[in-house]
Chains A and B, each alone.
Chain A
């Protein structure tokens, strides 16, 4: 190795603690990206595995446009020679004691063998080895189920165990391997029909079709046929927005990570500056210095990247859990298994570490190349140019902000453009850091000299003087805090909008059967309606259908009841919007309207049981239940077109004039429980929705924490840099009569000063970010309007984080100050 390179690399050993800190910084940046990326990948791949597994080798499925299909269809399929195999499926969910909703498939094992061979084969193979038990119990025992081995392991169940669910206890007769992340319970179709009260019908039929054209022409009318590809597409569409969200979070991690690496590279340049000057004076070529510097950067990139890959892998195990639970809450139960460790992860980590290091090193490297040896040789380099340079950079920042504005304005084209705009915006504002430090310095000096005396004052001067380094650290920390504030404010605003929505739409005293897939018997609805004092009962039926190839929902409600008792959030108009709904029109959610560009007065065409039906859209309402879009219609309209009388839940409204409200509510509760139907009061329902909401943002929240951790290393690294660089200065301070305490205090004030500037900037930037997230990103990703709502909490959290992180980051340098006290000399090392 060339001695030049050696000279650079030895720094890493010499300043071990700093090197480790920097390495950890890079590792954290890489870990954030890898961790997020891996868990997103886990979730999506186990999702598609689940879809694959459930689909088996079927090529198509056939079902009614809404609701179950009569099993008489099977006998017709027997005669259809365009069908090679078919298997009826009852596809429902039950809730476990811990309220996780788990998919239950009711199948006929004989027919299913041709579609999903793994399940029945494994079961019967297992059964065969132990014939002492009643092997036929799967069919004869009404409560008998098979569960997948993952679930069995998780719940510590084995054949013979009992599994308590919302549909009563099941007897586990066996297990089967499940390569997908979705837990699964299998029962005989007969038992499923009994348990889910589906006599004579099934939910769908999976098929292997040999002639699609013939098959479609035969079954077109009144059925919905979905090919494997269509199914994959529609299910992927289901997770589209969620996937975007994960990608955005990965990108955020990447952004902060790159910042951090920039910080590290910057430090490397700064600390090698004098050496570079000396080397140049000794006749070293520029390229030799650049090569030596790059060797250092790449070493950091490779080591940090590798370490980051390991961290990221560990992190992904944790994040995967959160992502899985969010998907479970929002879409369907999924327990993604973390991606196994692979060299690819390591390679990705190293690649990312190197690329980000290189990116981060570009500007410092240019500085290094252009450096005049004379200036470098002079030793320590003060931040030259001061206000003027900061002003120049701020001007560039303004230009970048303009670009960000353009991107954000064009976000209607694709949400990615919006994301790009957001990142450009963050980049732009981070360029204002130097300018802000300059502007805030006098005020800060005044404040710190009051609080901290001379060391406070010096601390501010040091921040200002060493702005080359401090500005980057402040910017990185500011971006992290802004993200925290932005995401926090967005979540709070969203929560507030949700509460507003709930208070308008969910006004029933009681809701019957809101959990699980429990269905409410129609006679119970009639029974409740007839009770004295009941003002009205709203029937709620929600089905997923396909509209223009993507999944949307149809909700059937009781328009006149809702008109009387609720106050929807109408985009325009008021409760008079219900009038046409009673006559067969529909209302659509804002998400539907935006997604398909359907306006009031347009019509939507949906496949009903007797072919396509056109529904006029009479109004648009705010809705946060699904980003996929919702078509709401009166129950009578729904039954007319879909022949499905299922009721998923009931909203019970008490006549306001009825005197004995409490007693009536108690009575309804009693009757519902008598039928084993779960009941929730309005308050309980609202709480459930809010907890679902909170769960949804678990990933986002964990990313906030991650950003803060990454930024913490940024600040700590910057402080260490300052410390290492000014060791000699410390000696001078000592010579001037400073106590070690005072020097430590100065270091602490530097940390706090940087934290404070970061925080002050982030209040503005964070708010702007919140607005961007609300008005651009959310609107584009989920197609719904969130109303900005100011809350103090995110700012408070950011402030506490800022102070805590900067104090925390100062601890090590302070410790170093104390430890190296006797050695601190004026002498150059």
Chain B
């Protein structure tokens, strides 16, 4: 190590889900090493599923992450239904989209208001934020509660819902219970628009990164649980082709596998990718709100992912209210058709981005093999590259400020380390 070496590192990154660290080593203004490590202990979900019934996959995989259980439940359901050849009627598809909106709301608002916003104001946490702007935090808590309430009314509880199953729902919620959500959903949209306005006044660090964006795209809707996989370089494929275009590789410093394209290119999934690839699927007035807030399609500033998340929150409230108004209980509430051996794929847009499931099922419904590719694994390599860009761009900051800026850059991803296997350790090393 020379005199000009600096090491910026954090051993236990705060305000993320799970345990991670990072280390960046600098020589002058050049980054010589950047590692984002997920060292949350492995839990071997894919191994534990083998030999169990296909019916167990949604509940078991939901335990990968307490923040986004619906993403796992829905990915597993879609993949199993694909393997078994079950057709799911539209009322069940709509009810799934409604509970998924609830998850987007609670997960996004948790991140924007409680975990990420404090970075833009130089505050340690949302408790400090509540001291300076109590109404913003209270509005966030209220919006988050509504998202959780949607999950509770449909799913029984918000963390690891129990009412979902392969084929649909154990029972259909009563129309009155769904209708009772409407006032809170309408208030939530208004609160989210006000919050977007507040966030738009933040000082966004000036950084542009050359990303390969990847997201679902649907013929008419903003994508949540249906669509084809598209990218900013023109890819347009069926979900079943995911493994032909994207691979996971293992690196020694992490317990999560890193996703890259088959050509070895890192890529980005999540709100910024969804927004950039699907801005034309947003209602025109919501897109106008985004643009007024400084989020324009084509945005490549990772710090503005905060705005993308908030725009999606507004959309999720609007969409949830639309679905709630149109709600008719599915009858029956689930499909249960004959079993067959098969292979199935399922992809949905988890709050943090594409989440892929693939299962092979035997004739008797036993799981033969399971593969799950969570969004944070896919983003992990890009996070390391963002750290390089951030440190090179802001290397003149002192070590404490540079460390915080790096933490903030990682939190741009709302990384779910529990998902990715599970930790993030941050070190910045300066030569």
> Is A bound to B?
no
Spell out B's residues near A (CB within 8 Å): none
